[in-house]
A and B are shown apart, each in its own frame.
Chain A
Amino acid sequence: MKGVESGLLDFSRLEMLAAGDSPVHRLDPRTKVLVTAAFLVFVVLHGKYDLAGLAPLALYPVAAMALSGLPAGYILGKLLLASPFVLLVGVWNPVLDRGILVTVGGLPISGGWISFASIVVRFALTLSAALILIATTGFDQVCRGLSRLYAPKAFVLQLLLLYRYIFVLAGEAARMVRAFRLRNLSDERPAMRTYAALLGSLLVRALDRAQRIHMAMLSRGFDGEIRMSRPMRLRLADAAWAAFWIAFFILVRRYDIPGLLGQIVIAH
């Protein structure tokens, strides 16, 4: 994975984006979670050769990014970083599936290439939707939304506590790695034995910290249940956002808009 500092930077960047203000940011987290889920389902419902059918769905991430003022370059950069596995698996399709599916201007295009392209497009669509969700909502709001959508409470709390202490522990880890590098100028990465000792002491500190947190919780009346009270309100904008997108997803699923468009263009 990435270095500790750059990993933390990723969090900070997304958190800063989520702290922004826009019509999309202002939507209720539940709305955004549900629309994202619907979007993902409609993307994967398309068969693997259905490259054309996927195209209209791109409107959702593009519009959401534009309306919320998210920097497209940043999102694309993150997608690129995440792509190796999918590319590695997908790139076999053109090799293995050579049946010609389409001929464009005399150039035969095999099913493998089409399905490979569709994998890449799916990848971009699904992951950008997830990033848009977190970058316009913020992690703790997503969690609150999930808990209102009946996710198990213990799990939601676990997510929140985990997120809170990532920053503390990653900070500790970064300090330890820095100390290691100061003493060890020759090698960038620790060898396994040092690495295990490094992790071991990080782990022991984590265990101690957990005990102190527990103490702090107890001293404020903790009885095994963590309570959070924050009102959440669905507004007209939420209904409109959800209704628009779900109607749009269904529409492009029912009608072959790219096909129609293409025919119109070619006819002229």
Chain B
Amino acid sequence: MSHHIVEVKDLHYTYPGETRKALSGVSFRILHGEAVGIVGANGAGKSTLLRHLNGYWAPREGSVRIGDYPVTPRTVKQVRRTVGMVFQDPDDQLFMPTVFDDVAFGPLNLGFSPEEVALRVTRALETVGAAHLAERPPHRLSGGEKRAVAVATVLSMTPDILVLDEPTSNLDPRARRKVIELLHGFVHTRIVATHDLDMVLALCPRTIVMREGRVEADGPTLDIFNDAELLDRCHLEKPFSMQACPVCSRATLPARQP
């Protein structure tokens, strides 16, 4: 079962017109069924990395392998079937007039029959708990609903690997909790780029820390979040749930300035 493996080797990328590398020598290997958090400061290169994982950019320097295929312009179709990509802003992902059409977009492009498409849409929407939204236009959904539907738009293509960019940004606490639970229930390989370290703690046994286009650390999430020096170097902070509770340990907090 090698086809759910994600392997990135010495990947470099420079945006056109820029001199600084957005990615300079990224390498890692993610196995079938793993849930991996990718964290790092703003501009560390997380989004740039994710765009390579579903072939939006074919690697010019280094390589990306998705399962049995190296990502090249020729394999990109297969790669996109295998890797489902959920983008940061659901308004970019939901471009069709109704939720149904949006979730059906991928399967239709894969060439399934209308009946099969309808079946897949229903199944994907049920999985994310959004079956009742099928006929709604995307611009009439709440932020949490949009996010759920955005996940459904890739689930309907039955990918093996889910890649998510900031899945909990702009969500209220309950919507955020729902998304985390949803992702927790999946058996797919999951790669989540985020600033929400508490989510990483809840969801991903493994974490990759990025800094200035490089992998700064890669290992068990708990080990990484306990390494205060590493976190500080990468402009990160210990997740709230690992910090001393401010209510029961108020005495240890510095006194407030008047």
Contact indicator B97/A143 (Cβ below 8 Å): yes
Stretch in B108-116, B222-230, B243-251 with 4+ CB within 8 Å of A: B108-116
Pick from A163, A209, A217 the residue with the most CB of B within 10 Å: A217
State the CA gap A230–B99 with chains docked (Å).
Answer: 13
Contact indicator B109/A168 (Cβ below 8 Å): no
* A contact residues around B98 at 8 Å (CB): 140
Contact indicator B87/A216 (Cβ below 8 Å): yes
* A contact residues around B65 at 8 Å (CB): none
Contact indicator B138/A227 (Cβ below 8 Å): no
Q: B107-134 vs A: 1/0 string, CB under 8 Å?
A: 0111000100100000000000000000
Q: B94-109 vs A: 1/0 string, CB under 8 Å?
A: 1111101100111011
Residues 168 to 193 of chain A near chain B (Cβ within 8 Å): 168
* A contact residues around B28 at 8 Å (CB): none
State the CA gap A81–B80 with chains docked (Å).
Answer: 49
User: Among A160, A215, A222, A231, which residue has its beta carbon within 8 angstroms of that of B97?
Assistant: A160
Contact indicator B137/A15 (Cβ below 8 Å): yes
* Interface residue total, chain A, C-beta cutoff 8 A: 29
User: Among A213, A221, A228, which residue has its beta carbon within 8 angstroms of that of B157?
Assistant: A221
Is B92 located at the chain interface by the 8 A CB criterion?
A: yes
Residues 95 to 151 of chain A near chain B (Cβ within 8 Å): 139-140, 143
Contact indicator B51/A213 (Cβ below 8 Å): no
* A contact residues around B109 at 8 Å (CB): 220-223, 227
Q: How large is the interface on B (under 10, 10 to 19, 20 to 34, 35 or more residues)?
A: 35 or more
Is B35 located at the chain interface by the 8 A CB criterion?
A: no
Closest chain A residue, CB of each to CB of B88: A212
Closest chain B residue, CB of each to CB of A223: B109
Q: Answer whether A219 and B54 are a contact pair too, CB < 8 Å, given A212-B87, A227-B109, A229-B117.
A: yes
What distance in Å separates the Cβ of B21 from its nearest Cβ neighbour in chain A? 21
Q: B131-147 vs A: 1/0 string, CB under 8 Å?
A: 00000011110000000
Is B58 located at the chain interface by the 8 A CB criterion?
A: no
* B contact residues around A140 at 8 Å (CB): 97-98, 137
State the CA gap A231–B91 with chains docked (Å).
Answer: 26
Contact indicator A220/B137 (Cβ below 8 Å): no
Contact indicator B85/A219 (Cβ below 8 Å): yes
State the CA gap A223–B97 with chains docked (Å).
Answer: 19
Contact surface of B with A, Cβ cutoff 8 Å: 51, 54, 56, 77, 80-81, 83-85, 87, 89, 91-98, 100-101, 104-106, 108-110, 114, 117, 137-140, 153-154, 157
Q: List 15 A-B contacts (CB under 8 A).
A: A139-B97, A168-B139, A212-B92, A213-B95, A215-B56, A215-B87, A216-B85, A216-B92, A218-B56, A218-B80, A220-B105, A220-B106, A221-B77, A221-B109, A227-B108
Given contacts A164-B94, A164-B138, A219-B84, could you give 17 more A-B pairs where the C-beta distance is less than 8 Å? A140-B97, A143-B97, A164-B95, A164-B139, A167-B139, A168-B91, A212-B89, A215-B56, A217-B95, A219-B83, A219-B87, A221-B80, A221-B109, A222-B109, A226-B105, A229-B104, A229-B114
Contact surface of A with B, Cβ cutoff 8 Å: 15, 139-140, 143, 160-161, 163-165, 167-168, 209, 212-213, 215-223, 226-231
